[in-house]
């Protein structure tokens, strides 16, 4: 039986702005922080040897299928290892970066053994909150972009490591052309507040333009202007592409309500978005990604591994998937090699 503590969702505004949540912790890569992180890891090993219990804080940016699956995989992996000796303090920021900061600071005050930060703003907030408690990110596309790291080469340093949900962006561009060989114009829809969404659309734009396709970026600032920006993108393009964008993932109904009636196919960066509004995706398994993150947490808590030296890990597999209902309604026949998303 899993033993999980879930606090109610936080809704209060924090005194500091969202910018504080997005700032990098300058001391996270210092020698003093590495030493402190090692001290925490040593204490965790001793606790495990004595059969003591761990409390792990989980900060999830927003509720949607991909992030939910990553959190579940993380919990499943640690529960399989610790049984009732692990307690999860799960908190959902409801899409607010400032609330991520509140949650992360609360974890530091309560002295959790480890913080799992699910999505980029959660990771940024956790890093800003502590340079001693081990932090593992998940569902973060590119750690160098997320944390403002120069010459990122696989390790973050300090007390931070984790897993990435980056799927091959060149293959996602290939997917669009495979499904629509005559496509001329593709709109790239993303939230400008999500640094990793910007990174993905920049890359996909380059790959599409190399194929002779006109790719135009359509940025919205939050869910309030998603509808108007999506409508403009649908009006001006043959198809849309959406990266692993948390704001779209939490509001797929808005995109579907515009694009499906307009007969404009949407290609998605992950399965959850595709099942809500897309025709096809090249997706990773987020539950599996969470499990890998949980295995990393076990290695920190029990084996004493140092996050500073742990390379960012990636999902081992990607899968070509399609949304059968939307394809049928739009009259699109999936190419060979794609698997229908289960309803």
Confidence of residue 283 (pLDDT cuts 50, 70, 90): confident
Beta strands in 86-157 (DSSP E): 86-92, 114-118, 135-140
Spell out the residues 6+ positions from residue 236 whose beta carbon is closer than 8 angstroms to its own: 185, 187, 216
**pLDDT at 23 (0 to 100):** 35
216-244 as b/e: b if 16+ CB within 10 A: bbbbbeeeeebeebbbbbbeebbbbbbbb
Q: Which two tokens stand for residue 138?
A: 């998940």
Average pLDDT, integer, range 172-196: 96
| Residue 341 clears pLDDT 90, i.e. is over it | yes
Tell me how far apart the alpha carbons of residues 71 and 89 are, in angstroms, rounded to a whole number. Answer: 12
**pLDDT at 151 (0 to 100):** 87
| Residue 15 clears pLDDT 70, i.e. is over it | no
**pLDDT at 321 (0 to 100):** 97
How distant, in Å, are the alpha carbons of 104, 155, 303, 313 from that of 306?
20, 11, 9, 15
Q: Higher-confidence residue: 58 or 18?
A: 58
Tell me how far apart the alpha carbons of residues 21 and 101 are, in angstroms, rounded to a whole number. Answer: 5
Confidence of residue 317 (pLDDT cuts 50, 70, 90): confident
Q: List, for residues 226-270, the tens digit of each pLDDT value.
A: 999 999 999 999 999 999 999 999 999 999 999 999 999 999 999
**pLDDT at 48 (0 to 100):** 47
Q: List, for residues 65-123, the tens digit of each pLDDT value.
A: 999 999 999 999 999 999 999 999 999 999 999 999 999 999 999 999 999 999 999 99
DSSP, res 269: S
Residue 177 near residue 213 (C-beta atoms within 8 A): yes
Phi-psi region of 76 (alpha: psi -120 to 50; beta: other; left: phi over 0): alpha
Tell me how far apart the alpha carbons of residues 223 and 241 are, in angstroms, rounded to a whole number. Answer: 17
| Residue 291 clears pLDDT 50, i.e. is over it | yes
Confidence of residue 50 (pLDDT cuts 50, 70, 90): low
The model carries a pTM of 0.79
High-pLDDT (> 70) share of the chain, %? 85
Average pLDDT, integer, range 267-285: 95
Confidence of residue 288 (pLDDT cuts 50, 70, 90): very high
Tell me how far apart the alpha carbons of residues 193 and 221 are, in angstroms, rounded to a whole number. Answer: 6
Tell me how far apart the alpha carbons of residues 124 and 157 are, in angstroms, rounded to a whole number. Answer: 14
| Residue 26 clears pLDDT 70, i.e. is over it | no
Average pLDDT, integer, range 172-200: 96
| Residue 14 clears pLDDT 80, i.e. is over it | no
């Amino acid at each position: 039986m899993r033993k999980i503590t879930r606090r109610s969702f936080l809704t209060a505004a924090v005194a500091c702005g969202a910018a504080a949540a997005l700032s990098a912790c300058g001391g996270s890569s210092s020698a003093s922080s590495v030493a402190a992180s090692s001290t925490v890891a040593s204490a965790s090993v001793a606790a495990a040897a004595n059969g003591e219990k761990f409390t792990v804080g989980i900060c999830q940016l927003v509720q949607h299928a991909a992030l939910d699956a990553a959190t579940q995989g993380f919990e499943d992996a640690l529960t399989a290892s610790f049984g009732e000796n692990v307690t999860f303090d799960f908190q959902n920021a409801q899409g607010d970066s400032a609330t991520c900061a509140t949650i992360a600071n609360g974890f530091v005050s309560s002295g959790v053994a480890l913080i799992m930060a699910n999505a980029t703003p959660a990771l940024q907030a956790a890093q800003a909150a502590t340079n001693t408690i081990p932090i593992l990110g998940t569902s973060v596309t590119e750690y160098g972009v997320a944390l403002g790291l120069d010459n990122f080469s696989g390790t973050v340093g300090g007390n931070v490591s984790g897993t990435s949900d980056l799927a091959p962006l060149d293959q996602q561009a290939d997917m669009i052309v495979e499904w629509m060989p005559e496509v001329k114009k593709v709109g790239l829809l993303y939230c400008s507040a999500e640094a990793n969404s910007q990174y993905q659309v920049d890359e996909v734009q380059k790959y599409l333009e190399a194929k002779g396709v006109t790719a135009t970026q359509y940025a919205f600032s939050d869910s309030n202007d998603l509808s108007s920006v999506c409508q403009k993108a649908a009006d001006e393009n043959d198809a849309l592409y959406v990266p692993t964008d948390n704001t779209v993932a939490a509001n797929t109904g808005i995109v579907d309500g515009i694009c499906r009636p307009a007969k404009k196919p949407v290609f998605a960066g992950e399965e959850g978005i595709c099942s809500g509004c897309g025709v096809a995706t090249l997706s990773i398994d987020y539950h599996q990604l969470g499990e890998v993150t949980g295995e990393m947490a076990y290695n920190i808590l029990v084996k004493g591994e140092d996050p500073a030296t742990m390379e960012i890990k990636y999902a081992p597999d990607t899968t070509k998937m399609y949304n059968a209902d939307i394809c049928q309604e739009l009259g699109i026949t999936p190419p060979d090699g794609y698997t229908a998303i289960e309803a």
